[in-house]
Amino acid sequence: MDVEATKLIGAALAIGLGAIGPGIGIGILVNGALNALARNPDVSGQITTNMFIGMAFAEALAIFGLVISLILLFVV
C-alpha cells in the first residue's frame, strides 16, 4: 500500500476511534449532571463547574487522538 494512503488511514483511525470513548464518557457525565440538576437546582453552579472539569478530562483523550491525526496529516 502507498505510504501516503496509510498515513491518511492512520490519521482517520486515530481521531475516529479516539473519539468513541470520550463521546460515551461525556454523554454519561452530562446525563448525571442533568439528573442532579433536575433533583436539586439550588446547587446548579457547583454541579456545572464540576461537570466542566469532568468533561475536560474526558475530552482530553479525544484531543490526544486529534493531535496524533494532525501530526500524521501535516508533520510526518
Partner 1 sequence: MKGKTPVIIAVVVGLIILGFGFLRFELPVVSVSAEHLFDLGPLSVSNSLFTSVIVTIIIAVVAILGTRNMQLVPSGLQNVIELVVETLYNLTEGVSGPKWAGRFFVIPATIFIFVLGSNWFGLIPGLAGVGYCAVHHAEEAHAEEEVHVEEEVHAEEASWFGAVRHNTCPPGEEIVPFFRSPSADLNYTVMLALVSQVAAQFFGFAALGFGGYLGKYLVFDGLKAAFGPDDHGNKRSTGSMLGQLAMGAIDLFVGLLEGISEFIKVIAFTFRLFGNIFAGEVMLVVLTFLVPLVLTIPFIGFEIFVGLIQAFIFFILSVAFYSVAVTSHSHEEGH
> Which residues are near partner 1 by CB under 8 A?
4, 45-46, 49, 52-53, 55-57, 59-60, 63-64, 66-67, 70-71, 73-75
Residue that the C-alpha cell 446547587 belongs to: 43
CB of 66 to partner 1, least distance (A): 5
Q: Closer to partner 1 at the Cβ: 31 or 49?
A: 49
The SS3 call for residue 53 is helix
CB of 67 to partner 1, least distance (A): 5
User: Rounded to 10 degrees, what is the CA torsion of 47, 52, 57, 61?
Assistant: 140
